[in-house]
Chains A and B, each alone.
Chain A
Amino acid sequence: MKLPIYLDNHATTPLDPRVLEAMQPYLTTEFGNAASRNHVFGWKAEAAVEKARKQIAELIGASDKEIVFTSGATESDNLAIKGVLEFYRSKGDHVITVKTEHKAVLDTCKRLERQRADTVEDYRRLRLSELAGTPLRPEQVADYAKKFDLEKDEVFQRWMQFIPSGARVTYLGVKPDGRIDLDELRNAITDRTVLVSVMLANNEIGVIQPVKEIGQICREKGVLFHCDAVQGVGKIPFNVEEAKVDLASISAHKMYGPKGVGALYVRRKPRVRIAPLIDGGGHERGMRSGTLNVAAIVGFGKAAEIARQEMEEEAARTLRLREKLRSYIQQNLDMTVVNGSLEHRLPGNLNISFSYVEGEALMMAIKDVAVSSGSACTSASLEPSYVLRALGVEEDMAHSSIRFGIGRFNTEEEIDYVARLIVEKVKKLREMSPLYEMAKEGIDLKSVAWVAH
């Protein structure tokens, strides 16, 4: 067994050697531009891209014409949300998403909200200027808003009916198990809703959302359904027809393919339209211009093919390893909590909080094992994981969480080693923890008057 051990397969996965082999010619001899229509170099590149498109489509039950290549899932999420909003503006401007989504979705939504707020502000100043009979500077708006009540101004209220940029966003909460409440989703949909964006599986806690039910609700209500399927595709069955998904984001490097390439599935029947984010040569049927990253796309295709063929076996194997790790930890340590549903969870994911031990300290103690933590200390924001907070996990328990991501290349020997190591180190850190000592003495830590800093 070799150290260090990689158990962070939600962050990225190693390239499968078979994928590398498939890519190699396209990094050397087959260097053509897939958009070159008039010579054999271009034809070969195009044929390779089209083969990959089919392989990826097949993995998710789509047609190859529905696959748009992007630079990765962050771009796919941006393209789906901004693209739909822009194209369907006349239909509405309301988006529904979930608090536990990936930042690629949440920050895209935040920008749309900000854009809308800025536009409303511009309109307010414009209308107040009209009423005042003179152009107002931004700093004069507050004063004039007191003079003229725009809430009762018919013209302004009519303008508010159609804001030409940005969006209104509803962020659904989740139940303690990490799944959304379907009734809450149903009730959140209004006649101005154009898009619902819910992930297939969460990147931190691996919890799988009821996408089939969500797709059904969206179809009934006539709103589009975008699914950030990055963590789930290739790990668990995902079929765009069964889930009635209209748009889905996928990434190659989460399924043993190369980094820097992703795809957006865009439904053709019934046809879903999006406005592009990137204009240029009109590649990808105008939805995403830019010369195709042929070698990476070939690797993506191969990764998708392998995933489709080996998914069942691999899922069973990673689940067995995950359960081995979990049961060893929970049998040998008290006061541990698995975050999120164990039943509706990716087979390779274990997110667990070790009470009274801080996550980063634990990561340091197991420095030959690559994992990740919901502790604030490991993030730039100094806030503990927003995903765990959305589940209702207390802050101290969020600080104590570790995410294990078991993947294709992990061995049983590695899992046994990690399980023993974790138990040993948690015990050691607890011996050093004043909180563990206090808890053992029966002191209710919630009753202590802590001085936050």
Chain B
Amino acid sequence: MAYSEKVIDHYENPRNVGTLDKDDPNVGTGLVGAPACGDVMRLQLKINDDGVIEDAKFKTFGCGSAIASSSLVTEWVKGKTVESALAISNKDVARELALPPVKIHCSVLAEDAIKAAIADFKRKREARAAKTTG
């Protein structure tokens, strides 16, 4: 299968590979996929008190398209508010990377990772709010 230039670029020069402190209250961690399916994506977002994504890091076990999809979304979400990050859809990712039909699930995983990371962040926030009020 031939990969698009953008997939190859992200794969060879992945942006924002790494780990944020998962115990930091401002960090939301999303872990999606399954080893048995051949892809697992972990996306971590550092979100400030204004709801803006200050930093994003990923690690991905998966094919080149999965790695490229996660690398791309880390670039996209940085500087965005939580709301606009949630508006990123898998179709945007698939279009940008020119993914063939068999690789669409990689872009779905990337969208799921954003949603999971933000959900984790919100959960932490609510837990903390509950603690302070209680």
Contacts and interface: CB of A to CB of B under 8 A. Distances in A.
Interface of A: 356-358, 360-361, 364, 375-377, 382, 384, 394-396, 399, 431-437, 445, 448, 450-453
A434 B42 contact: yes
Query: Would you call the interface of chain B mostly helix, strand, loop, or mixed?
Result: mixed
Contacts of B35: 395-396, 399, 435, 445, 450
B38 A434 contact: no
B61 A433 contact: yes
B61 A356 contact: yes
B34 A451 contact: yes
A357 B112 CA distance: 21
Given A376-B38, A377-B38, A451 B32 contact: yes
A361 B62 contact: yes
Contact of A432 (B33, B38, B59): B59
What 10 A-B pairs are tightest by C-beta distance, nearest first? A450-B34, A396-B35, A434-B42, A399-B38, A395-B36, A434-B59, A360-B63, A364-B64, A377-B63, A433-B61
Interface in B9-53: 11, 14, 17, 19, 31-42
Given A358-B63, A437-B59, A452-B34, A432 B40 contact: no
Q: Which of B14, B31, B36: most chain A Cβ within 10 A?
A: B36
A434 B41 contact: yes
B109 to A, nearest CB: 7
Given A358-B38, A399-B38, A432-B59, A450 B64 contact: no
Contacts of B39: 358
Given A358-B66, A450-B33, 18 more contacts: A357-B61, A360-B64, A364-B3, A382-B102, A395-B35, A395-B38, A399-B38, A432-B17, A432-B60, A434-B31, A434-B40, A434-B41, A434-B59, A435-B40, A435-B61, A450-B35, A451-B34, A453-B105
B64 A396 contact: no
A453 B59 contact: no
Given A364-B11, A434-B42, A452 B36 contact: yes
A452 B105 CA distance: 12
B108 interface: yes
B33 A451 contact: yes
Interface of B: 3, 8, 11, 14, 17, 19, 31-42, 59-64, 66-67, 102, 105, 108-109, 112
A396 B36 contact: yes
Contact of B38 (A384, A436, A437, A445): A384
Contacts of A432: 14, 17, 59-60, 67
22 contacts: A358-B39, A358-B62, A358-B63, A360-B64, A361-B62, A361-B63, A364-B3, A364-B63, A375-B63, A377-B63, A377-B102, A382-B102, A431-B17, A434-B60, A435-B40, A450-B33, A450-B35, A451-B32, A451-B34, A452-B34, A453-B33, A453-B105
Nearest to B29: A434
A391 to B, nearest CB: 16
A167 B102 CA distance: 35
A119 B64 CA distance: 47
A376 B64 CA distance: 13
A85 to B, nearest CB: 36
Contacts of A437: 19, 59
A431 B60 CA distance: 9
A165 to B, nearest CB: 36
A452 B61 contact: no
A336 B27 CA distance: 33
A361 B3 CA distance: 12
Contacts of B102: 377, 382
A382 B38 CA distance: 10
Contacts of A445: 35
Contacts of B40: 434-435, 450
A164 B17 CA distance: 62
Nearest to A450: B34
Contacts of B41: 434
Nearest to A356: B61
Contacts of B37: 376, 395, 452-453
